[in-house]
Structure 1
Amino acid sequence: MSESEYRTGREGEFTYRGHTLDELQEMEREEVAELLPARQRRTIERGLSVEHEKLLEKASEKGEEETANDPIRTHLRDMPILPEFVGLTFAVYTGQSFERVEVEPEMIGHYLGEFQLTRTSVEHGQAGIGATRSSKFVPLK
Structure 2
Amino acid sequence: MSVEIPAEWKKFRYRGKSLEELLNMPMDDFIKLLPARQRRSLRKGFTPSERTLIEKIRKIRRDSKADKPIKTHVRSLVILPEMVGLKFAVYNGKQFVEFQVVPEMIGHYLGEFSIPIQKVEHGEPGLKATRSSLFMAMKG
Give TM-score, length-normalised by structure 1. Answer: 0.83
2:110 is aligned with 1:112: yes
Structure 2: stretches of 5+ with no match in the other structure? 1-9
- The answer as to whether partners of 1:72 and 1:89 remain within 8 angstroms in 2 is yes
2:77 is aligned with 1:79: yes
CA distance in 2 between partners of 1:101 and 1:129 (Å): 42
CA distance in 1 between partners of 2:96 and 2:131 (Å): 43
- The answer as to whether partners of 1:89 and 1:103 remain within 8 angstroms in 2 is yes
CA distance in 2 between partners of 1:76 and 1:70 (Å): 17
Q: Cα offset for 1:139?
A: 8.2
Match of 1:98 in 2: 96
CA distance in 1 between partners of 2:116 and 2:78 (Å): 18
Aligned in 2, Cα 1:53/1:138: closer, same or farther, shift over 3 Å?
A: same
Match of 2:25 in 1: 27
| Letter of the structure 1 residue corresponding to residue 111 of structure 2 | G
Paired residues, what number? 130
Aligned in 2, Cα 1:139/1:29: closer, same or farther, shift over 3 Å?
A: same
Identity over aligned residues, as a percent? 47
Instruction: List aligned pairs for 1:1-141, cutoff 5 A.
Output: 13-135=11-133, 136-137=135-136, 140=139
Match of 2:7 in 1: none
- The answer as to whether partners of 1:62 and 1:88 remain within 8 angstroms in 2 is no
CA distance in 2 between partners of 1:91 and 1:133 (Å): 43
| Letter of the structure 1 residue corresponding to residue 29 of structure 2 | E
| Letter of the structure 2 residue corresponding to residue 127 of structure 1 | P
Of the structure 1 ranges 97-106 and 57-66, higher mean CA displacement relative to structure 2 is found in 57-66
Structure 1: stretches of 5+ with no match in the other structure? 1-11
Aligned in 2, Cα 1:128/1:79: closer, same or farther, shift over 3 Å?
A: same
